[in-house]
Amino acid sequence: MRLSIEKVVYGGSGIARQEGQASAGTVFVPFTLPGEEIDADLISTDGSRMDASVKELISASSDRVLPRCIHFGVCGGCQFQHASYDAQLSLKREILQETLQRAGLSSLPEIEIHAAEPWEYRNRIRLRLQEFDGKLRAGYLKRGSTEFLPIQMCPIAAPILWQAAEILLDVLEAFPQWAKATQEIELFTADEEQKIQLTFFLSSMPAKNFAELCNALLLRIPQLAGAGAQVIETPGKSRRFQRAIPIESWGAAGLTYNVGEESYWVGRGSFFQVNRFLVSRLVQLATGGRGGRLAWDLYAGVGLFSRVLAKNFAEVVAVEVEKGNLEANFRGEGRRAVAATTLEFLRQAVLERDRPELIVMDPPRAGVGTEVCSLIGRLKTPEVVYVSCDPATLSRDLREMVDSGYKMDQLHLVDMFPQTFHQETVTVLRR
Protein backbone atom coordinates (compact mmCIF):
# COMPACT_ATOMS: atom_id res chain seq x y z
CA MET A 1 0.00 0.00 0.00
CA ARG A 2 1.14 3.55 -0.74
CA LEU A 3 0.22 5.64 2.31
CA SER A 4 0.42 9.23 3.54
CA ILE A 5 0.75 9.44 7.33
CA GLU A 6 -1.74 11.94 8.72
CA LYS A 7 -0.91 11.95 12.42
CA VAL A 8 0.45 9.89 15.31
CA VAL A 9 -1.91 8.47 17.94
CA TYR A 10 -1.54 7.29 21.53
CA GLY A 11 0.48 4.08 21.43
CA GLY A 12 3.00 5.57 19.00
CA SER A 13 1.69 4.49 15.59
CA GLY A 14 1.14 6.80 12.65
CA ILE A 15 -2.22 6.47 10.95
CA ALA A 16 -3.30 6.77 7.34
CA ARG A 17 -6.60 6.31 5.49
CA GLN A 18 -6.99 3.61 2.86
CA GLU A 19 -9.94 4.69 0.73
CA GLY A 20 -11.79 3.32 -2.26
CA GLN A 21 -10.69 -0.32 -1.93
CA ALA A 22 -12.18 -3.52 -0.55
CA SER A 23 -9.87 -3.15 2.44
CA ALA A 24 -10.79 0.52 3.09
CA GLY A 25 -10.21 1.75 6.63
CA THR A 26 -7.65 3.18 9.03
CA VAL A 27 -4.10 1.87 8.76
CA PHE A 28 -1.80 1.95 11.80
CA VAL A 29 1.93 2.03 11.00
CA PRO A 30 4.53 2.12 13.81
CA PHE A 31 7.71 4.22 13.54
CA THR A 32 6.25 6.79 11.15
CA LEU A 33 5.74 10.55 11.43
CA PRO A 34 3.10 12.98 10.15
CA GLY A 35 3.54 13.97 6.52
CA GLU A 36 5.63 10.96 5.55
CA GLU A 37 4.95 8.98 2.38
CA ILE A 38 5.56 5.24 2.64
CA ASP A 39 5.10 1.94 0.92
CA ALA A 40 3.61 -0.39 3.54
CA ASP A 41 3.10 -4.12 3.95
CA LEU A 42 -0.21 -5.18 5.46
CA ILE A 43 0.23 -7.27 8.62
CA SER A 44 -3.32 -7.82 9.87
CA THR A 45 -6.90 -6.56 9.60
CA ASP A 46 -9.61 -6.32 12.22
CA GLY A 47 -12.81 -4.77 10.88
CA SER A 48 -12.00 -1.31 9.59
CA ARG A 49 -8.60 -1.30 11.32
CA MET A 50 -5.48 -2.46 9.52
CA ASP A 51 -1.96 -2.82 10.91
CA ALA A 52 0.99 -2.42 8.59
CA SER A 53 4.76 -2.04 8.61
CA VAL A 54 7.04 0.26 6.61
CA LYS A 55 8.34 -1.47 3.51
CA GLU A 56 9.98 1.64 2.07
CA LEU A 57 10.21 5.23 3.29
CA ILE A 58 9.51 7.30 0.18
CA SER A 59 9.43 10.78 1.72
CA ALA A 60 10.83 11.31 5.23
CA SER A 61 9.77 13.96 7.72
CA SER A 62 12.30 16.66 8.60
CA ASP A 63 11.72 15.57 12.22
CA ARG A 64 13.11 12.08 11.56
CA VAL A 65 16.44 11.27 13.28
CA LEU A 66 18.65 8.22 13.68
CA PRO A 67 17.71 6.13 16.76
CA ARG A 68 20.36 5.97 19.47
CA CYS A 69 19.63 2.35 20.46
CA ILE A 70 20.62 -0.55 18.21
CA HIS A 71 17.55 -2.49 19.41
CA PHE A 72 15.01 0.20 18.50
CA GLY A 73 12.16 -1.16 16.41
CA VAL A 74 12.65 -4.72 17.63
CA CYS A 75 12.53 -4.05 21.39
CA GLY A 76 9.10 -3.37 22.83
CA GLY A 77 10.29 -0.55 25.10
CA CYS A 78 10.56 2.59 22.94
CA GLN A 79 8.34 3.94 20.16
CA PHE A 80 9.72 7.42 19.36
CA GLN A 81 13.50 7.22 18.99
CA HIS A 82 13.09 7.95 15.25
CA ALA A 83 11.68 11.43 16.07
CA SER A 84 13.62 14.48 17.24
CA TYR A 85 12.90 15.33 20.85
CA ASP A 86 11.09 18.56 19.96
CA ALA A 87 8.89 16.51 17.62
CA GLN A 88 8.16 13.97 20.36
CA LEU A 89 6.94 16.73 22.67
CA SER A 90 4.80 18.25 19.93
CA LEU A 91 3.25 14.87 19.12
CA LYS A 92 2.43 14.22 22.78
CA ARG A 93 0.82 17.63 23.15
CA GLU A 94 -1.40 17.00 20.11
CA ILE A 95 -2.34 13.51 21.35
CA LEU A 96 -3.28 14.84 24.80
CA GLN A 97 -5.33 17.69 23.38
CA GLU A 98 -7.19 15.46 20.93
CA THR A 99 -7.90 12.83 23.61
CA LEU A 100 -9.40 15.45 25.93
CA GLN A 101 -11.48 17.00 23.15
CA ARG A 102 -12.76 13.61 22.08
CA ALA A 103 -14.13 13.17 25.63
CA GLY A 104 -16.20 16.31 25.12
CA LEU A 105 -13.90 18.63 27.06
CA SER A 106 -13.82 22.09 25.50
CA SER A 107 -12.25 25.43 26.49
CA LEU A 108 -9.04 23.66 27.47
CA PRO A 109 -6.29 25.68 29.15
CA GLU A 110 -3.06 25.96 27.20
CA ILE A 111 -0.98 22.80 27.60
CA GLU A 112 2.35 23.69 29.20
CA ILE A 113 5.20 21.28 28.45
CA HIS A 114 7.92 20.40 30.97
CA ALA A 115 10.92 18.40 29.77
CA ALA A 116 14.47 17.54 30.74
CA GLU A 117 17.32 15.31 29.50
CA PRO A 118 15.63 12.71 27.23
CA TRP A 119 18.24 9.94 27.73
CA GLU A 120 19.54 7.97 30.73
CA TYR A 121 16.55 9.13 32.79
CA ARG A 122 15.09 5.87 34.11
CA ASN A 123 15.91 5.09 37.74
CA ARG A 124 14.39 1.59 37.47
CA ILE A 125 14.56 -1.24 34.92
CA ARG A 126 13.28 -4.82 34.99
CA LEU A 127 15.17 -7.28 32.81
CA ARG A 128 14.52 -10.88 31.84
CA LEU A 129 17.38 -13.36 32.20
CA GLN A 130 17.60 -16.25 29.78
CA GLU A 131 20.18 -18.46 28.13
CA PHE A 132 20.76 -17.39 24.55
CA ASP A 133 23.29 -19.02 22.20
CA GLY A 134 24.68 -20.96 25.15
CA LYS A 135 25.22 -17.92 27.38
CA LEU A 136 23.12 -16.20 30.07
CA ARG A 137 21.86 -12.88 28.73
CA ALA A 138 19.68 -10.02 29.98
CA GLY A 139 16.98 -8.46 27.87
CA TYR A 140 13.42 -7.40 27.24
CA LEU A 141 10.62 -8.77 25.06
CA LYS A 142 10.44 -8.25 21.33
CA ARG A 143 7.80 -5.76 20.26
CA GLY A 144 4.31 -7.25 20.21
CA SER A 145 5.41 -10.70 21.35
CA THR A 146 6.52 -12.80 24.31
CA GLU A 147 9.80 -13.68 22.60
CA PHE A 148 12.98 -12.89 24.50
CA LEU A 149 15.28 -10.19 23.10
CA PRO A 150 18.85 -10.17 24.49
CA ILE A 151 20.16 -6.61 24.61
CA GLN A 152 23.53 -4.91 24.58
CA MET A 153 22.39 -1.47 25.76
CA CYS A 154 19.48 0.53 27.14
CA PRO A 155 20.17 4.25 26.59
CA ILE A 156 17.05 5.44 28.44
CA ALA A 157 18.24 3.77 31.68
CA ALA A 158 20.56 5.40 34.20
CA PRO A 159 24.02 4.14 33.12
CA ILE A 160 24.74 2.42 36.42
CA LEU A 161 21.73 0.11 35.99
CA TRP A 162 22.92 -1.53 32.77
CA GLN A 163 26.49 -1.63 34.11
CA ALA A 164 25.22 -3.48 37.19
CA ALA A 165 23.23 -5.89 35.02
CA GLU A 166 26.33 -6.79 32.98
CA ILE A 167 28.34 -7.39 36.16
CA LEU A 168 25.55 -9.55 37.57
CA LEU A 169 25.60 -11.79 34.48
CA ASP A 170 29.33 -12.23 34.94
CA VAL A 171 29.06 -13.00 38.68
CA LEU A 172 26.22 -15.49 38.14
CA GLU A 173 28.61 -17.76 36.23
CA ALA A 174 30.01 -18.76 39.64
CA PHE A 175 26.47 -19.36 40.99
CA PRO A 176 24.86 -21.69 38.40
CA GLN A 177 21.87 -22.59 40.58
CA TRP A 178 20.92 -18.93 40.92
CA ALA A 179 21.54 -18.32 37.22
CA LYS A 180 19.19 -21.18 36.31
CA ALA A 181 16.44 -20.15 38.75
CA THR A 182 16.42 -16.40 38.02
CA GLN A 183 13.72 -15.36 35.54
CA GLU A 184 13.96 -11.61 35.96
CA ILE A 185 15.82 -8.94 37.89
CA GLU A 186 14.80 -5.43 38.88
CA LEU A 187 17.37 -2.69 39.44
CA PHE A 188 16.52 0.60 41.15
CA THR A 189 18.92 3.47 41.77
CA ALA A 190 18.80 6.69 43.78
CA ASP A 191 18.73 10.15 42.22
CA GLU A 192 22.50 10.51 41.74
CA GLU A 193 23.16 6.80 41.11
CA GLN A 194 24.92 6.53 44.47
CA LYS A 195 22.95 3.47 45.65
CA ILE A 196 21.33 0.44 43.98
CA GLN A 197 18.62 -1.98 45.07
CA LEU A 198 18.42 -5.37 43.32
CA THR A 199 15.53 -7.86 43.27
CA PHE A 200 15.70 -11.41 41.89
CA PHE A 201 12.48 -12.98 40.61
CA LEU A 202 12.87 -16.76 40.70
CA SER A 203 11.07 -19.77 39.27
CA SER A 204 12.16 -21.83 42.28
CA MET A 205 14.30 -21.52 45.39
CA PRO A 206 17.95 -22.25 44.54
CA ALA A 207 20.77 -22.99 47.00
CA LYS A 208 20.85 -21.25 50.36
CA ASN A 209 23.84 -19.05 49.54
CA PHE A 210 22.13 -15.75 48.81
CA ALA A 211 24.41 -13.76 51.11
CA GLU A 212 27.45 -15.24 49.37
CA LEU A 213 26.07 -14.16 45.98
CA CYS A 214 25.33 -10.64 47.22
CA ASN A 215 28.77 -10.26 48.82
CA ALA A 216 30.35 -11.31 45.52
CA LEU A 217 28.26 -8.67 43.74
CA LEU A 218 29.24 -6.03 46.31
CA LEU A 219 32.91 -6.52 45.46
CA ARG A 220 32.12 -5.55 41.86
CA ILE A 221 29.22 -3.12 42.51
CA PRO A 222 30.10 -0.98 45.56
CA GLN A 223 26.81 0.96 45.14
CA LEU A 224 24.77 -2.16 45.97
CA ALA A 225 22.83 -1.21 49.11
CA GLY A 226 20.53 -4.20 49.35
CA ALA A 227 19.01 -7.14 47.52
CA GLY A 228 16.03 -9.42 47.80
CA ALA A 229 14.81 -12.64 46.22
CA GLN A 230 11.20 -13.57 45.46
CA VAL A 231 9.76 -16.81 44.13
CA ILE A 232 7.11 -16.35 41.44
CA GLU A 233 4.12 -18.59 42.21
CA THR A 234 3.02 -18.79 38.57
CA PRO A 235 6.20 -18.68 36.47
CA GLY A 236 5.73 -18.25 32.74
CA LYS A 237 2.55 -16.16 33.05
CA SER A 238 2.47 -12.41 32.43
CA ARG A 239 3.37 -10.14 35.33
CA ARG A 240 -0.26 -9.09 35.67
CA PHE A 241 -1.14 -12.58 36.91
CA GLN A 242 2.01 -13.26 38.90
CA ARG A 243 2.32 -13.31 42.65
CA ALA A 244 5.84 -13.20 44.09
CA ILE A 245 6.70 -14.41 47.60
CA PRO A 246 9.75 -12.82 49.30
CA ILE A 247 12.16 -15.47 50.54
CA GLU A 248 15.56 -13.81 50.99
CA SER A 249 16.89 -10.38 51.92
CA TRP A 250 20.38 -8.95 52.16
CA GLY A 251 21.54 -5.51 53.22
CA ALA A 252 19.18 -2.53 53.45
CA ALA A 253 15.51 -3.05 52.61
CA GLY A 254 15.39 0.13 50.50
CA LEU A 255 17.27 3.32 49.76
CA THR A 256 17.04 7.03 50.43
CA TYR A 257 15.92 9.08 47.43
CA ASN A 258 16.47 12.85 47.41
CA VAL A 259 13.95 15.12 45.71
CA GLY A 260 14.65 18.82 46.13
CA GLU A 261 15.00 19.51 49.85
CA GLU A 262 13.23 16.29 50.85
CA SER A 263 14.61 12.76 51.35
CA TYR A 264 12.35 9.73 51.02
CA TRP A 265 12.77 6.17 52.13
CA VAL A 266 11.78 3.95 49.19
CA GLY A 267 11.47 0.27 50.04
CA ARG A 268 12.71 -2.31 47.58
CA GLY A 269 9.96 -2.88 45.01
CA SER A 270 7.90 0.15 46.06
CA PHE A 271 6.49 2.49 43.43
CA PHE A 272 8.40 5.70 42.78
CA GLN A 273 8.36 8.09 39.83
CA VAL A 274 10.75 6.72 37.19
CA ASN A 275 12.29 9.89 35.72
CA ARG A 276 15.17 10.97 37.93
CA PHE A 277 15.46 14.35 36.17
CA LEU A 278 11.82 15.50 36.43
CA VAL A 279 10.58 14.27 39.81
CA SER A 280 11.28 17.64 41.46
CA ARG A 281 9.39 19.48 38.73
CA LEU A 282 6.42 17.14 39.08
CA VAL A 283 6.32 17.75 42.84
CA GLN A 284 6.52 21.51 42.34
CA LEU A 285 3.63 21.49 39.87
CA ALA A 286 1.45 19.41 42.18
CA THR A 287 2.20 21.26 45.41
CA GLY A 288 3.84 24.63 44.72
CA GLY A 289 2.20 27.82 45.96
CA ARG A 290 -0.50 25.96 47.86
CA GLY A 291 -1.17 26.23 51.58
CA GLY A 292 -3.93 26.40 54.17
CA ARG A 293 -5.64 24.42 56.90
CA LEU A 294 -6.15 20.90 55.44
CA ALA A 295 -4.99 18.96 52.36
CA TRP A 296 -5.55 15.36 51.33
CA ASP A 297 -3.01 13.37 49.31
CA LEU A 298 -4.84 10.42 47.75
CA TYR A 299 -2.91 7.45 46.29
CA ALA A 300 -0.03 8.87 48.30
CA GLY A 301 2.58 6.16 47.63
CA VAL A 302 5.72 6.87 49.65
CA GLY A 303 4.51 10.39 50.45
CA LEU A 304 6.17 12.22 47.55
CA PHE A 305 3.63 15.05 47.59
CA SER A 306 2.52 14.72 51.25
CA ARG A 307 5.89 15.76 52.68
CA VAL A 308 5.98 18.98 50.68
CA LEU A 309 2.32 19.81 51.31
CA ALA A 310 2.95 19.48 55.06
CA LYS A 311 5.25 22.51 54.95
CA ASN A 312 2.37 24.84 54.09
CA PHE A 313 -0.74 23.12 55.41
CA ALA A 314 -1.61 22.85 59.10
CA GLU A 315 -2.74 19.26 58.51
CA VAL A 316 -2.15 16.79 55.70
CA VAL A 317 -3.87 13.41 55.41
CA ALA A 318 -2.05 10.91 53.17
CA VAL A 319 -4.04 7.88 51.98
CA GLU A 320 -2.44 4.68 50.66
CA VAL A 321 -3.54 1.03 50.71
CA GLU A 322 -0.27 -0.17 52.23
CA LYS A 323 1.28 2.55 54.32
CA GLY A 324 4.64 0.94 55.24
CA ASN A 325 6.84 3.33 53.27
CA LEU A 326 4.37 6.18 53.75
CA GLU A 327 4.46 5.82 57.53
CA ALA A 328 8.27 5.87 57.49
CA ASN A 329 8.25 9.10 55.47
CA PHE A 330 5.26 10.87 56.98
CA ARG A 331 5.42 11.31 60.72
CA GLY A 332 5.00 14.25 63.04
CA GLU A 333 2.51 16.87 64.09
CA GLY A 334 -0.16 17.63 61.51
CA ARG A 335 0.71 14.55 59.46
CA ARG A 336 -1.64 11.56 59.29
CA ALA A 337 -1.09 8.41 57.22
CA VAL A 338 -4.24 6.38 56.53
CA ALA A 339 -4.15 2.76 55.35
CA ALA A 340 -7.16 2.52 53.05
CA THR A 341 -8.18 2.66 49.42
CA THR A 342 -9.08 6.13 48.18
CA LEU A 343 -12.65 4.95 47.60
CA GLU A 344 -13.01 3.66 51.17
CA PHE A 345 -11.54 6.87 52.56
CA LEU A 346 -13.82 9.14 50.52
CA ARG A 347 -16.96 7.13 51.30
CA GLN A 348 -16.29 7.74 54.97
CA ALA A 349 -15.18 11.33 54.46
CA VAL A 350 -18.45 12.48 52.89
CA LEU A 351 -20.24 11.41 56.08
CA GLU A 352 -18.01 13.63 58.22
CA ARG A 353 -17.86 17.41 58.47
CA ASP A 354 -14.19 18.05 57.80
CA ARG A 355 -13.54 19.34 54.30
CA PRO A 356 -10.09 19.89 52.72
CA GLU A 357 -9.06 23.01 50.81
CA LEU A 358 -6.94 20.90 48.46
CA ILE A 359 -6.97 17.34 47.14
CA VAL A 360 -3.94 15.94 45.29
CA MET A 361 -4.40 12.56 43.64
CA ASP A 362 -1.95 10.44 41.65
CA PRO A 363 -3.76 7.20 40.76
CA PRO A 364 -2.42 4.23 38.79
CA ARG A 365 -3.03 3.95 35.04
CA ALA A 366 -6.68 2.91 35.52
CA GLY A 367 -7.50 6.39 36.88
CA VAL A 368 -9.82 7.22 39.78
CA GLY A 369 -13.17 6.18 38.30
CA THR A 370 -16.72 7.50 38.40
CA GLU A 371 -17.48 7.02 42.09
CA VAL A 372 -14.32 8.81 43.29
CA CYS A 373 -15.10 11.74 40.97
CA SER A 374 -18.68 11.83 42.27
CA LEU A 375 -17.60 11.79 45.92
CA ILE A 376 -15.10 14.61 45.37
CA GLY A 377 -17.86 16.56 43.65
CA ARG A 378 -20.03 16.13 46.75
CA LEU A 379 -17.20 17.38 48.96
CA LYS A 380 -16.92 20.58 46.85
CA THR A 381 -13.19 20.84 47.54
CA PRO A 382 -12.09 24.23 46.11
CA GLU A 383 -8.98 22.89 44.32
CA VAL A 384 -8.05 19.44 43.00
CA VAL A 385 -4.73 18.49 41.42
CA TYR A 386 -4.95 15.34 39.29
CA VAL A 387 -1.65 13.68 38.32
CA SER A 388 -2.16 11.09 35.58
CA CYS A 389 -0.07 8.72 33.45
CA ASP A 390 -2.84 7.82 30.99
CA PRO A 391 -4.64 10.43 28.84
CA ALA A 392 -7.61 8.13 28.11
CA THR A 393 -8.57 7.49 31.74
CA LEU A 394 -7.68 11.09 32.61
CA SER A 395 -10.12 12.35 29.97
CA ARG A 396 -12.87 10.08 31.27
CA ASP A 397 -12.35 11.27 34.85
CA LEU A 398 -12.01 14.95 33.93
CA ARG A 399 -15.33 14.74 32.08
CA GLU A 400 -16.91 13.54 35.36
CA MET A 401 -15.18 16.28 37.36
CA VAL A 402 -16.29 19.02 34.97
CA ASP A 403 -19.85 17.69 35.04
CA SER A 404 -19.80 17.90 38.86
CA GLY A 405 -18.89 21.59 38.82
CA TYR A 406 -15.12 21.81 38.33
CA LYS A 407 -13.27 23.82 35.70
CA MET A 408 -9.85 22.97 34.33
CA ASP A 409 -7.55 25.85 35.29
CA GLN A 410 -4.10 24.50 34.35
CA LEU A 411 -2.90 21.63 32.17
CA HIS A 412 0.74 20.50 32.29
CA LEU A 413 2.36 17.79 30.18
CA VAL A 414 5.40 16.49 32.08
CA ASP A 415 7.50 14.28 29.79
CA MET A 416 8.48 11.63 32.32
CA PHE A 417 8.91 8.98 29.59
CA PRO A 418 10.98 10.33 26.65
CA GLN A 419 11.42 8.05 23.60
CA THR A 420 8.13 6.29 24.46
CA PHE A 421 4.45 7.10 23.83
CA HIS A 422 3.71 7.35 27.56
CA GLN A 423 3.00 10.75 29.07
CA GLU A 424 2.40 12.27 32.50
CA THR A 425 0.00 15.16 33.05
CA VAL A 426 -0.83 17.47 35.93
CA THR A 427 -4.30 19.01 35.76
CA VAL A 428 -5.40 21.73 38.19
CA LEU A 429 -9.17 21.94 38.71
CA ARG A 430 -11.03 24.62 40.61
CA ARG A 431 -14.67 25.25 41.53
| Identity of the amino acid at 185 | I
| Identity of the amino acid at 418 | P
pLDDT of 22 higher than 60: no
Question: What domains are there in the chain, each with its CATH number?
Answer: 2-64 (2.40.50.140), 102-116+275-430 (3.40.50.150), 124-258 (2.40.50.1070)
Overall average pLDDT of the 267-293 stretch: 96
Per the CB < 8 A criterion, the answer to whether 237 and 83 are in contact is: no
Q: d(Cα 342, Cα 372) in Å, to the nearest integer?
A: 8
Tally the C-alpha atoms within 13 A of residue 42's C-alpha that lie toward its C-beta: 13
| Range name among 150-159, 176-185, 237-246, 370-379 with the lowest pLDDT average | 237-246
Overall average pLDDT of the 370-393 stretch: 97
Q: What is residue 168's predicted lDDT score, i.e. its pLDDT?
A: 98
For all residues of the chain together, what is the average pLDDT? 95
Q: What is residue 135's predicted lDDT score, i.e. its pLDDT?
A: 95
Q: What is residue 353's predicted lDDT score, i.e. its pLDDT?
A: 81
3-state secondary structure of 204: coil
CB atoms within 10 A of CB 48: 10
pLDDT of 293 higher than 90: yes
3-state secondary structure of 70: coil
Cα–Cα distances in angstroms (integers) from residue 174 to residues 138, 255, 334, in the given order: 17, 27, 52
Cα–Cα distances in angstroms (integers) from residue 17 to residues 3, 26, 228, 374, 400, in the given order: 8, 5, 50, 39, 32
Q: What is residue 47's predicted lDDT score, i.e. its pLDDT?
A: 82
Q: d(Cα 365, Cα 299) in Å, to the nearest integer?
A: 12
From the list 164, 248, 180, the residue with the least C-alpha distance to 211 is 248
Q: What is residue 354's predicted lDDT score, i.e. its pLDDT?
A: 83
pTM: 0.94
pLDDT digits (tens, 9 = 90+) for 122-176: 999 999 999 999 999 999 999 999 999 999 999 999 999 999 999 999 999 999 9
Question: What residues form DSSP beta bridges with 429?
Answer: 384, 408
Number of alpha helices (DSSP H) and beta strands (DSSP E) in the chain: 10, 23
pLDDT digits (tens, 9 = 90+) for 59-96: 999 999 999 999 999 999 999 999 999 999 999 999 99
